[in-house]
Amino acid sequence: MATSTPEPGPDERLFTVDELASASGLTVRTTRYYASLGLLPPPAKRGRMAWYDDTHLARLEMIRALQEHGFTLQAIEGYLASLPADAALEDLALQRAMLTAWAPPGPQEISRRQLEKHAGRRLGEEQLRMLEDVGIVRRTEDERGARFTPLQGFDVAVELLDLDIPMDGMRAAGAAISHHIDALATDLTRILRDEVVEPHRQRAHTHQETERFERTLTVLRRLTLEAIVSAFQRSANDLIARSLQREQGEASHREAR
């Protein structure tokens, strides 16, 4: 349940509902709808005007971050209800920073025809199953029939379908990538939380310093992704070099015999 909003301090920004919607990138209708669900605390009343502050904005931005991760509004309501009623603005900002997706969200659930239009080709059942097996497409069933959600990497996976590669090999490669990436994501998220976010949380910060820290996390995400790609390329090159050296050594050994 939403709690009452304390009177804003002298340095806090105040928004009308139109200004709040604009700042959060939502429509006024959507903003009012979220408020009607209790996802936002009531605004402060001054005469006949309703005023919102940075805490309302932080909650709206958190709702958007949760939606990017596939949370339903019911699940979002439960998550927001679990937060302390007196959570400071900086705490909300840090919570959202940890939730922010590492890449833009993919398309929402679409029909098979729309999926094939997005792919630019017809997709057979075996190809669809392969895309599901490697975690690139999610399939659900509702009253309209089968629905599909293409995830990050869908365009790359579709290109792979045109290569002369056995699908079992593609599934095995997808499983290997998923296994190691899951472990890497777990480790990197733990390091980010324990070594970067938590030390920042332990100190008092102004709103401007928190916003600057959020921008730092955005850059850190980009650099981390670039570092992962570079590390894989370096490791693959080292593996090729070691393999060539081993083959050269074995050839020299056979010639010596």
- Tell me the per-residue pLDDT of 77-110, one tens digit each, with 9 for 90 and over: 888 888 876 777 777 877 777 777 676 665 678 8
Q: Of all helices (H) and strands (E), which one includes residue 130?
A: helix 125-133
Instruction: Give the pLDDT score at 107.
Output: 61
Q: What is the dihedral of CA 163, 165, 168, 174, to 10 degrees?
A: -60
Q: What tokens appear for 44 in the block? A: 């402060």
Question: Quick one: pLDDT at residue 104?
Answer: 64
Number of neighbouring beta carbons within 10 Å of residue 116 = 16
Predicted confidence (pLDDT) per residue in 186-234, tens digit:
999 899 889 988 888 788 877 788 778 888 888 888 899 899 999 999 9
Residue 111's φ and ψ, nearest 5 degrees, are: -75, 170
What distance in Å separates the CA atoms of residue 58 and residue 230, rounded to the nearest whole number? 34
H helix or E strand, kind and range, residue 199: helix 198-201
Amino acid at 181: I
Mean predicted lDDT score pLDDT of the chain: 84
Amino acid at residue number 254 = R
Cβ pair 68, 33 in contact under 8 A: no
State residue 1's pLDDT score: 45
Token pair 């379908």 is found at 161
Higher pLDDT, 21 or 67: 21
- Contact yes or no for 27/63 (Cβ under 8 A): no
Report the alpha-carbon distance of residue 153 to residue 110 in Å, rounded.
16
Rounded Cα distance, 151 and 154, in Å: 6
The answer to whether residues 138 and 152 touch, using CB atoms and an 8 Å cutoff, is: no
Query: pTM of the entire structure?
Result: 0.60
What class is the 14-87 domain?
mainly alpha
The predicted model gives 158-177 an average pLDDT of 85
